[in-house]
Structure 1
């Protein structure tokens, strides 16, 4: 029997709360006709205010959406409504062959993908662009080092010469170093006791950015990524790939803050290879009014090729060819670490990448507890604080309700500021997402 997505996963694809509410009104069979699915796509016609119904199609693997309605939101309420109908009322979306208009849309998507893959690349032009940007980044990083040294020279407690860091952040944007700009903007919000630590890490990164040619290749790639260099998807996929059945551990969608990107959203999807055991992080971005394009249901297995971005501690990856649609994983939770093992693993990762804030971690047999000092996860021997700044209070109570005092398997991100839970598994039950609680 075909596995349908959960309602929670479908609603996580919506660009905003209004779209979720509107989609709920279209999740019943009444407004729909001509619905169908072939296991890789959904389609249907939804009655609107005009004579002609809106034609809606969804390709499930990416997913990708197409609708004849005039909405500027993506996915629109019709696409979300069709997904909810398919999820909650399977008999209302019967198996069948795609209608002609659906087949044409799917074929055009394949043709565009093949065309992009064959587009020629001018290596000489790319080299000149890289050299020009490298010079600008190095100049910006050198200026940042001087600004940091100047603040330290006058003393962190002396605010007479200290102004907002926004001007410096703007200079880093001009220098084509958005990663440095983001870290600089965060300085204004840091408490006094953390300033020296962050100054030191930022100074180290700026110094490394001026000396990438002297660093080992993997560490140089890490520095470039931290500074804000991006690598073309085609370039990443042209390198080695890893084929595996990837377990979707969880996802989180959050708005990007600061600068001109404040209305964008970022979706982080964490995977673990069933055979290799390797972790991977997929990133997807959405413009205003549009949800990030890539979405994979938590607790499912996706057989696919992944290409890892270069770095000293490779984690971010690009999704390559997929072999079929996501399938539900066994109900058993993934293997987890003890708290002590998680701490040791993070320490090893930081040795490779000093600027690593956190890493994906599965904790096994832990219980959530609330104390006067905050929320913790404990395995009976050691405890780790929960980063409540990244998780709503309702999610923590939901985590406690799933546990009922019994040990859980919990996936999240562990780092020097604590653990940010994303997904929880109770014995014999499907995973519970915590990011949208």
Structure 2
């Protein structure tokens, strides 16, 4: 491991921040002034003492192979501002965080107490129910409750169609929320989420009855698929179970690859924060999605710097066209990645989304990389247009409001760029970009 070659960029560090306030506070601590005793090892461990308001400095250590963090400050955010500041200092100033030093005792103790690689998986395997018959009975009981919930929702949708879509605006959100709670009671959280989305459509703007009909049809399709799940091919049946919200563990052989971290972003429903991390395998050519969750007010545990490459194993979840995976053993510290994944045209991106819908009709979007596109303003928002003429993709409304769109325009400067994002029926959400004039991956989230 070379001293400076594997140090991250400031953007890769800030991509780990749980929120904007943490990014701002961490940036203020990214200078040498408050730090002492800082250093880093050849295996990607960074440590330092940060002067705080008390008499004793905060002890901060980061294992970049995780990444994992430990700080003696009282913050409940992960990473805290001190960890972010230390990583920013490490990224920018090799003299302030020299390599090759011996870690202090407090950092070594934390490293020794950390869980050995693969330990979590081993304990998970050991925790499987010894009584498989009892496990099957519990699964059958839950399936029966889900079936009852699906049948009840079918009746709710039939009443909606009979009463007319336009009447849904006058019924109010209360009936939808009550239906969602009943789906939760039926242990079908996937259906509950779709019901809440249906309840938010009436009165949402021009054309809402058409959108309500479309989403109701997709919900009806999911209901009918569940009620006949035993007759479906196993890959599609696994997809239906996942869409209903039934838990599924990663299966099959692990795939070891050099995984480029393409993007990381969080969404929240007020109760749960969901973090999505997109990866691309350099050798396998596979795209994978890691999901991590955090209760309200807390960031998810898993965080990976955008633009780095991990030598690691992934275990895939079952299902037709499913990209979700779980991160397994990591074999080396992350290193910066430069080249983007191979991309295609706008037409090829739309074709890829169409093929994915064949396996999973409930997909909102599909990950694609666009090659040689230019961000241009249009009459209604922005578009990503093929640089050599032809088709263009509208940028989704939610993406237009993000500062990342302006960053994309700045990176392009009117010239063609490569863009990774999610392509769906609402348009294209750009998540990362690459330009010949800008080294590395530029996060857009």
What TM-score results when the alignment is normalised by the length of structure 2? 0.90
Stretch moving more, 89-98 or 413-422: 89-98
1:261-292, Cα deviation, whole Å (9 max, x unpaired): x1432221111111111111111223344322
Whole-angstrom CA distance in 1 between matches of 2:76 and 2:260: 33
Partner of 1:328: 336
Q: 1:81 to 1:358 in 2, by over 3 A?
A: same
Unaligned runs of 5+ in 2: 202-207
Partner of 2:375: 368
Stretch moving more, 194-203 or 291-300: 291-300
1:386-437, Cα deviation, whole Å (9 max, x unpaired): 11223425332322222122111111000111111011111242222111xx
Task: Give how far 1:31 is off.
Answer: 2.0
Partner of 1:217: 234
Whole-angstrom CA distance in 1 between matches of 2:340 and 2:184: 43
Partner of 2:394: 385
What TM-score results when the alignment is normalised by the length of structure 1? 0.92
Whole-angstrom CA distance in 2 between matches of 1:272 and 1:74: 25
Whole-angstrom CA distance in 2 between matches of 1:48 and 1:71: 12
1:61 maps to which of 56, 61, 65:
65
What is the total number of aligned residue pairs between the two structures? 425
SS in 2 for 1:110: coil
- RMSD across aligned C-alpha pairs, in angstroms? 2.0
Are 1:7 and 2:3 matched, yes or no? no
2:191 maps to which of 155, 159, 180:
180
Whole-angstrom CA distance in 2 between matches of 1:398 and 1:324: 31
Task: Give how far 1:46 is off.
Answer: 1.7
1:109 maps to which of 107, 114, 121:
114
Whole-angstrom CA distance in 2 between matches of 1:278 and 1:245: 11
Partner of 1:264: 272
1:302-322, Cα deviation, whole Å (9 max, x unpaired): 111111100100201111111
Whole-angstrom CA distance in 2 between matches of 1:115 and 1:310: 20
Task: Give how far 1:159 is off.
Answer: 4.1
2:436 maps to which of 412, 423, 427:
427
SS in 2 for 1:336: coil
1:1-31, Cα deviation, whole Å (9 max, x unpaired): 3322222232232233333333233222222
Q: 1:335 to 1:132 in 2, by over 3 A?
A: same
Task: Give how far 1:367 is off.
Answer: 1.0
1:152-209, Cα deviation, whole Å (9 max, x unpaired): 1121123498442111111111111111111111112222121111111001111222
Unaligned runs of 5+ in 1: none
Q: 1:396 to 1:240 in 2, by over 3 A?
A: same
Q: 1:263 to 1:15 in 2, by over 3 A?
A: farther
